[in-house]
Each structure stands twice: as structure tokens, then as C-alpha cells.
């Protein structure tokens, strides 16, 4: 091995270009920190780019680049789950370490990819896949390695947070803010992934596996996006001292409480949280992850969750880790070859593969959360009593009620906040409320969490 580290960048979109710019801008810092020259030898791109350094080979055959002798580390920033999977598996088979920002691919095929990497004694590093520039993978896998994690809650989609912030602060229309997020390079190629919560669900699946030592189970994440959130609910929530944020939750339930099932909740959805909670004040494209662990307690990690610079920072942090794994001596020295030190590297999902647990993921109706309910009723005597009776019969504890004056002739919106309740009980209560003659519309429900 020469003293330089040779990178291939597969994909020259927002992130790939960001990585090239970062290397150019911070070349000296990278060398001073790693002791190596980090050079891009190849880029994989379908279309030739005139703005790329002519010393870098441009190759439209990504599989060839993934296996090239002129490459030590393959950086996959193509996105998607088909070609990206093929090139990563091919790179692994050819003994290359891989760095990827591809949360969709890992959430859906990570179990297979990580097992294949272990078989071939290489690493697949993925800091950039979760929460953009925040080093949350490193923190959870390494800095919190001595803790038992009880739950985590995070704003893990920058586009969604940007949209919610602009809507709340400036009253801007949803579509307008989404277009701006796309222009700024925050959104996914298919932005429904952002606004329907799918991107956050991908990231949550990864965080939960690291937190609890369970295999990746993206298909079991309960997922709701932000498209149903109205300015009306944003304003009522604020009036009651709460803020609506789109959050991902991974919660370990021990089955001790009333009606509590034992297992893990994996869910992403809009959530009312107290206005004075730190997470409530994480705005714009910022992401933040709050981790509750024992014995450390609550810790919060915050930073830009999307965009070229943030994602490139995370990609290159992984590259720097791998540079250290690769060692710095001549390739004739076996102990310092590409196969060096893997036994000392942190496991892909933080726990050694044989120790991953089969703790069940709870179904939606087993999940426990507080609720915000908006009920529209005819303005007639006894309507509030009917609603509260149904809730109390279901054992649901009301925390606050706000009844607005009739805004349409004869109709009143009633806002109710509840303490945590098992979802199946809330479903039954809502079904009964909607059957009341005095109720005019479907009940709007948004989950609520005090983050305590
Ligand atoms: N579309 C993603 C987001 C990019 O907005 O968070 C970073 O994963």
C-alpha cells in the first residue's frame, strides 16, 4: 500500500459533489489528521463532467470502479436500493471498505449487507445515513457503549423540519417550502419520502438497531408524515403550550405498567411536545436526537440534518476512520494490509452479530402515547359531557380541554389533550365519539409526548 488512500466516489449528485468540495477545501486538515494523502482516483458517473479534475478517472461502469485495483475505499452516494446495492455488494466482494449515505438501502437490506461485509472482513460505514452531519452513529455505537438505552426521540428529517418551521413561523404554504427544500438539496430524489415520514422511518430503523441490539426491521416501523398537519392544529397546539414536530421514537417497553406490552415501539409521526423542550426549538433543516440512557441520563445531539456540507462532513468522518483502520505501512507488511484491525472495529450495529436480540417490535395498537384530539361538535348542551364520558369510560385521563367559540354556525371545535394511553383504547374511544349524533366530522388526532 502506498502512503495515499485512494477513494472512488460513486454518484455525483448533491452529496458526491459535496464530498469532492470538502476534500479540496480541507485537504491539508485531512492529511494532518490522518497522516495520509486522501486522493480521489475514480468517480462513477453516468454522464461525463467537465468540471472534474482531469486526473480523476470518470467511469460510467460503476461495477468496474467498485472493484478497481486503484481504489481502497468506495463511497456510495448514488441513492436508491437497486444499483446502489449491486455496487456495494460488488465492492465488498472485492475487499473494499464502503462508506454510504444510503439510509433506504441499509434500512431495507442492511442485515444482508452487514453480514456480507463481515464475511469479507471489510466495513460498511454509514454515519451520513442518519441525521446528516450529526455524528449520532459514532456517539451511539462508541460514546454510549457502556449505557443501556431506554428510549430515543429525534427530529431526523431536515426537509420535514424545514417545512414545519417555515409554515409555523411565516405561514408559508407547504408546496412552496418543499420546492425551496428541493432547491437547497435537502429533499430526497422522491420528496414523498420526506413528507410521508419514510425517510425518517429508514433512519429510525438504523438508530433502533444500534440502541437496542436488534436486527434492522424497517417494515415494522409505524409511519405517519406531515402532510395531514394543518395550520389550525399548529396554532391550537401553541395556544396550549405545545409545538408540533415530526419525530421518530424508539422506546423499550418492559411490560410493567397497566396494559403495557413488552417489546420495542418504533414509530415516526407528528407529535406535540412542550414548547420549552429543547427539541421543540430545533428549527429549519436542523436535526436533533435525544437519547435517554442509563446511567448517563438524557443527552441531546443537534446539527444540520441535510444538505451537501453536512452530509459530506459525515461521509468524510467515516473515510477518516477507515484510513486509520487501513493502517499506514507498506502493503508487503501483512499485518498492516487492508485486512488489518477489523476485529478491533466497532460492530456495524454496535452489538456483536451473534448477540442481536429477537425482542419483538410492538404493533401500532400496542403503542402508548398521549394524544391531542380535535373534535368538531354541534354547539348543544351536553356534547362536552358525552365526549368526556366516553374518554373516562375507556380509562383515558384528560389533561386539558380547550373549547373555542363556534366558528361555523352552530359548530364548535373542542381540543382535548390526554395522558398516555394504549392506542387500542384510544381507537375504541374515537370510534364511539364519531358515532355521537352531535359530532360533525372525523376526529383529528395527533400524538403527544412530554419527553420526560
Ligand atoms: N432528505 C433528507 C432530509 C436528507 O431532509 O433529512 C438527509 O438524510
Q: Residue 393: is its pLDDT beyond 50?
A: yes
User: Would you identify the CATH topology of the domain 141-304?
Assistant: Dihydrodipicolinate Reductase; domain 2 (3.30.360)
Quote the ligand 1 centre to 157 CA distance (angstroms).
5
Q: Can you tell me which atom of ligand 1 is nearest the CA of 156?
A: 6
Establish whether 148 is a catalytic residue. no
Q: Where in the chain is the domain with CATH 3.30.360.10?
A: 141-304
pLDDT of residue 127: 98
Task: Provide the 3-class DSSP secondary structure of residue 106.
Answer: helix
pLDDT in tens, 274-288: 999 999 999 999 999
Residue 1 binned pLDDT confidence (cut-offs 50, 70, 90): very low
Just give the CATH number of 367-448: 3.30.70.260
Q: Residue 331: is its pLDDT beyond 70?
A: no
Write the residue with the smallest CA distance to atom 7 of ligand 1: 306
18-32, 156-170, 242-256, 342-356: range with lowest mean pLDDT: 342-356
Q: Residue 391: is its pLDDT beyond 60?
A: yes
Instruction: Mention every residue, 6+ apart, whose C-beta is less than 8 A from residue 229.
Output: 164, 167, 244, 270, 446
Quote the ligand 1 centre to 432 CA distance (angstroms).
39
What mean pLDDT is reported for the chain?
Answer: 93
pLDDT in tens, 149-160: 999 999 999 999
| Distance in Å from the first CA to the final CA of the chain | 52
SS3 of 12-34: the string is CCHHHHHHHHHHHHHHHHHHHHH
In this structure, the strands spanning 262-274 and 222-223 are parallel
Query: Which residues, judged by CB distance below 6 Å to any ligand atom, belong to the binding site of ligand 1?
Result: 132, 157-159, 186-188, 194, 199, 305-306
Q: Residue 57: is its pLDDT beyond 70?
A: yes
Q: Residue with C-alpha cell 507498506?
A: 330
Burial class (CB in 10 A: 0-12, 13-18, 19+), 103: buried
Q: Residue 340: is its pLDDT beyond 50?
A: no
| Average of per-residue pLDDT across 356-366 | 97
pLDDT of residue 344: 58
Its pTM stands at: 0.95
Q: Can you tell me which atom of ligand 1 is nearest the CA of 310?
A: 7
Most ligand 1 atoms within 8 A of CB, residue of 105, 130, 132 to mutate: 132
Most ligand 1 atoms within 8 A of CB, residue of 178, 180, 188, 200 to mutate: 188
pLDDT of residue 337: 42
CB atoms within 10 A of CB 105: 24
pLDDT of residue 151: 98
* Domain over 4-135+308-355 is classified CATH 3.40.50.720: yes
Q: Can you tell me which atom of ligand 1 is nearest the CA of 161?
A: 5
pLDDT in tens, 150-199: 999 999 999 999 999 999 999 899 999 999 999 999 999 999 999 999 99
pLDDT of residue 257: 74
Quote the ligand 1 centre to 188 CA distance (angstroms).
6
Using alpha carbons, select from 440, 445, 441 the residue that is nearest to residue 391: 445
Number of residues assigned to the chain: 452
| Average of per-residue pLDDT across 80-92 | 98
- Which of 6, 85, 203, 220 is catalytic? The answer is 203
Q: Can you tell me which atom of ligand 1 is nearest the CA of 130?
A: 8
Write the residue with the smallest CA distance to atom 4 of ligand 1: 306
Q: Confirm if 444 and 236 have CB atoms less than 8 A apart.
A: no
Most ligand 1 atoms within 8 A of CB, residue of 157, 161, 182, 287 to mutate: 157
Residue 409 binned pLDDT confidence (cut-offs 50, 70, 90): low
Residue 339 binned pLDDT confidence (cut-offs 50, 70, 90): very low
Quote the ligand 1 centre to 304 CA distance (angstroms).
10
Instruction: Mention every residue, 6+ apart, whose C-beta is less than 8 A from residue 338.
Output: 1, 72, 95, 97, 122, 326
pLDDT in tens, 26-37: 999 999 999 999
Q: Where in the chain is the domain with CATH 3.40.50.720?
A: 4-135+308-355
Amino acid at each position: 500500500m502506498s502512503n495515499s488512500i485512494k477513494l472512488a466516489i460513486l454518484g455525483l449528485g448533491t452529496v458526491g459533489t459535496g464530498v469532492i468540495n470538502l476534500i479540496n477545501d480541507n485537504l491539508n486538515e485531512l492529511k494532518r489528521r490522518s497522516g495520509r494523502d486522501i486522493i480521489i482516483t475514480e468517480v462513477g458517473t453516468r454522464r461525463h463532467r467537465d468540471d472534474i479534475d482531469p486526473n480523476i478517472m470518470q467511469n460510467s461502469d460503476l461495477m468496474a470502479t467498485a472493484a478497481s485495483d486503484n481504489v481502497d475505499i468506495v463511497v456510495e452516494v448514488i441513492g436508491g436500493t437497486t444499483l446502489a446495492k449491486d455496487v456495494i455488494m460488488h465492492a465488498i466482494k472485492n475487499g473494499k471498505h464502503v462508506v454510504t449515505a444510503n439510509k433506504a438501502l441499509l434500512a431495507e437490506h442492511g442485515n444482508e449487507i452487514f453480514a456480507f461485509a463481515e464475511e469479507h472482513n471489510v466495513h460498511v460505514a454509514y454515519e451520513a445515513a442518519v441525521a446528516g452531519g450529526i455524528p449520532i452513529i459514532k456517539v451511539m455505537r462508541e460514546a454510549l457503549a457502556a449505557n443501556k438505552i431506554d428510549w430515543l426521540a429525534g427530529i431526523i428529517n431536515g426537509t420535514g423540519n424545514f417545512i414545519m418551521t417555515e409554515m409555523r413561523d411565516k405561514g408559508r404554504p407547504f408546496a412552496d417550502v418543499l420546492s425551496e427544500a428541493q432547491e437547497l438539496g435537502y429533499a430526497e430524489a422522491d420528496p414523498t419520502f420526506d413528507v410521508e415520514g419514510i425517510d425518517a422511518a429508514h433512519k429510525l430503523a438504523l438508530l433502533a438497531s444500534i440502541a437496542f441490539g436488534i436486527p434492522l426491521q424497517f417494515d415494522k416501523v409505524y409511519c405517519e408524515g406531515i402532510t395531514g398537519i394543518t395550520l389550525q392544529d399548529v396554532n391550537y397546539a401553541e395556544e396550549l403550550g405545545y409545538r408540533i414536530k415530526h419525530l421518530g421514537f424508539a422506546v423499550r417497553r418492559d411490560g410493567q405498567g397497566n396494559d403495557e406490552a413488552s417489546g420495542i415501539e418504533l414509530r415516526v409521526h407528528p407529535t406535540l411536545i412542550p414548547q420549552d423542550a429543547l427539541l421543540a426549538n430545533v428549527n429549519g433543516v436542523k436535526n436533533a436526537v435525544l437519547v435517554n440512557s442509563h446511567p448517563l441520563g438524557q443527552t441531546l445531539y443537534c446539527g444540520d440534518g441535510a444538505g451537501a456540507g453536512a452530509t459530506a462532513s459525515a461521509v468524510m468522518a467515516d473515510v477518516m476512520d477507515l484510513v486509520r483502520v487501513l493502517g499506514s505501512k507498506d502493503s508487503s507488511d501483512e499485518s498492516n494490509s487492508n485486512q488489518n484491525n477489523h476485529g478491533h472495529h466497532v460492530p456495524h450495529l454496535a452489538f456483536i452479530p451473534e448477540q442481536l436480540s429477537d425482542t419483538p417490535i410492538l404493533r401500532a395498537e400496542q403503542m402508548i402515547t398521549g394524544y391531542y384530539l380535535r373534535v368538531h361538535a354541534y354547539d348543544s348542551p351536553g356534547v362536552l359531557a358525552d365526549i368526556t364520558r366516553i374518554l373516562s369510560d375507556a380509562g383515558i385521563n384528560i389533561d386539558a380541554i380547550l373549547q373555542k367559540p363556534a366558528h361555523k354556525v352552530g359548530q364548535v371545535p373542542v381540543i382535548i389533550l390526554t395522558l398516555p394511553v394504549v392506542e387500542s383504547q384510544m381507537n375504541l374511544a374515537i370510534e364511539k365519539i364519531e358515532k355521537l349524533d352531535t359530532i360533525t366530522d372525523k376526529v383529528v388526532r395527533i400524538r403527544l409526548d412530554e419527553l420526560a
